[in-house]
Amino acid sequence: MFYFLLVILSVSVADGWSDNRQRRFKDDFLFGTASASYQVEGAWDADGKSESIWDRYVHSRPKLSPDGDVACDSYHQISRDVQMLRELGVDFYRFSIAWTRVLPSGFPNKIKEKGLQYYHNLVDELLKYNIQPMVTLYHFDLPQSLQDLGGWTNPLSITWFEDYARVIFENFASKVPHFITINQPNTVCVDGYGGDNFAPGINSLGVGDYLCVKHVMLAHAKAYRLYEKEFKTKHQGSVGIAISVNWIEPINNQTENVEAAEVAREFSIGLYVNPIWSKEGDFPALVKERVAAKSKEQGFLTSRLPTFTPEEKDLLKGSSDFLGMNHYTTGLAQPSAAKYPSPSFLDDMSVDFTQSLDWVQGTSPWLKSAPFGLYKSCLYLNKQYGYPTIIITEHGWSTNLGRKDPSRVDNLRAYLTALLFAIEDGTVVKGYTAWSLMDNVEWGAGVSERFGLYEVDFNSQNRHRSPRVSAHVYKRIIEQRVVEDTWRPTSLKMEVSTRRTGKNKSEL
């Protein structure tokens, strides 16, 4: 008897999460997929669109190939893009609006009707098939004209964004139920201003990056309050922000590594979540203390991390209807051995990351599969911030060319299973978004890293799209509401999902 118990115990421990219960996504759980303007639209200078920081960044670096000039040609392929969404049977499509297409000067003094029309056509086509649009206002592509004025390091960027947001809300609030203000402030700021690997590549380490964070957070809050005050009563939509929440685990349970992981979570997650979801409406205390101390040591008279006024904290606090969570991978933390440039964000944090050799590697160098990290991220947010309403606004996997993508199928199933466990343990998750609908321009990496449920042939005139195995598997999950271990499509031919057979809202 004792031996028998021991066997059961060790099997269930080894197996981690498996038991016999079948976990389902409730009928009102929303499934979607996503893209972003620069990554799919192409037509980079068509119909009066102005230059964005990504156009400039890629065009001025001879080593980078200008894949974004044409990208997936989505600017000319609305019906094909929406057809794919109907095939998948998704509830919503997350895409972004290019600021430069709508307001080429960066300001609302000149509104480009043709730019607006493209998004109206896309939104109308989605609504025709009962697919909800989820619109990101800013996904990394600032007008270069505003960058020339300092971009997000200029405090006036808060007003520039608010004015742009007003134009978008005025035009789309009646049709669009979900808005995301800004995608991944950490990428916008720490990658974009605290280095050279991401547009605009300002290289202002430990200074420009934090200035940007302050203004991006306030720009978000202003746009949220604008919608709340002038659009919400009438249109009843929701407005959130998409934050990069990758999991950080200590490399082992030694105290110094556990502490390093805690520090790293405050620097990479808390910096953006705390101002909105904590009662103080401010950056995390730990980050404020660390950056202030380092700054002093370095001879600065004030902390490199800017502060918020009491009014700004009030503006920030609670300024989101949902926490958009972009989750891809997990890092293992330990105190840094490496010497980072001083000052810099990395020096302030002083944590090094590795990933386990046991985790499957994607095509992107930073991407390994560790599904437990999604579960732990959710529980962490619940504990720290009191069960916020979450939408997974991105999760995905990169492969090479080819329509057979077993590693994406495995990754999708494992992460959705982890999500079901997080939901069972109390996480409030309204929806899940697969990144990405189709292969697209992976920023500086161009079209070499392929994140699509649909493969795109970048050598063909019309950027021909074809479904991968994972597209069929995702479609099946959306229909069945469960994650099956072994189901496979019998052919790669795709038809419109029975959930989206073309009936419009009034018919349903």
| Lookup: tokens for 323 | 């926490």
Number of residues lying near ligand GBH (CB under 6 A): 15
- Residue 157 vs 186, nearer CB to ligand GBH: 186
Among 187, 363, 389, 497, binds ligand GBH (CB under 6 A): 187
- Please answer whether residues 226 and 165 qualify as being in contact, where contact means their C-beta atoms are separated by less than 8 angstroms: yes
Least separation, in Å, of the C-beta of 54 and ligand GBH? 11
Show the DSSP H helices in 73-134 as ranges: 78-88, 99-102, 113-128
DSSP helix, strand, coil percent of the chain (3-state; round to 5): 45, 15, 40
Amino acid, single-letter form, for residue 148: D
Of 52-60, 101-109, 115-123, 180-188: span binding ligand GBH (CB under 6 A): 180-188
Nearer to ligand GBH, 55 or 442 (CB): 442
Q: How far is the CB of 365 from ligand GBH (least distance, A)?
A: 5
| Contact by Cβ (8 Å): 265, 207 | no
Which 441-460 positions form the footprint of ligand GBH (CB under 6 A)?
Answer: 442, 451
Contact between 341 and ligand GBH by CB under 6 A: the answer reads no
CB of 384 to ligand GBH, least distance (A): 22
Q: How far apart are CA 474 and CA 454, in angstroms?
A: 11
Asked whether the beta carbons of 245 and 277 are under 8 A apart, the reply is: no
Check binding of 363 to ligand GBH (CB under 6 A): no
Name the one range near ligand GBH by CB under 6 A: 9-17, 181-189, 208-216, 410-418: 181-189
Q: Which of 33, 184, 330, 470 binds ligand GBH (CB under 6 A)?
A: 184
330 close to 247: Cβ distance less than 8 angstroms: yes
Question: Rule CB under 6 A: is residue 36 a binding residue for ligand GBH?
Answer: yes
Query: CB 480 → ligand GBH: shortest distance, Å?
Result: 27
**Residues shown for the chain:** 508
What Rg value do the Cα atoms of the chain yield, rounded? 22
Among the listed ranges 63-71, 184-192, 369-377, 420-428, the one in contact with ligand GBH (CB under 6 A) is 184-192
Cα 158 from chain centroid?
A: 21
Of positions 341, 365, 402, 406, contacts ligand GBH by CB under 6 A: 365
Q: Give the nearest distance from C-beta 202 to ligand GBH in angstroms.
A: 15
Interface pick for ligand GBH out of 289, 366, 402, 501 (rule CB under 6 A): 366
Q: Which residue is nearest to ligand GBH (CB)?
A: 366
- C-alpha distances in angstroms, 171 versus 112, 176, 240? 12, 10, 18
Q: Report how far residue 25's alpha carbon sits from residue 244's, in angstroms, rounded to the nearest whole number.
A: 23
State the amino acid at position 132 in one-letter form: Q
Residue 302 touching ligand GBH (CB under 6 A): no
Regarding 37 and contact with ligand GBH (CB under 6 A), the answer is no
Cβ neighbours of residue 500 closer than 8 Å, sequence gap 6 or more: 85, 86, 89, 90, 129, 130, 131
Nearer to ligand GBH, 132 or 184 (CB): 184
- Measured distance CA(367)–CA(359) in Å, rounded: 10
Q: Are 216 and 182 in contact (CB under 8 A)?
A: yes
Q: CB nearer to ligand GBH: give 184 or 344.
A: 184
39 vs 377 by CB, closer to ligand GBH: 39
Q: Which residues bind ligand GBH (CB under 6 A)?
A: 36, 39, 183-184, 187, 191, 197-198, 326, 365-366, 394, 435, 442, 451
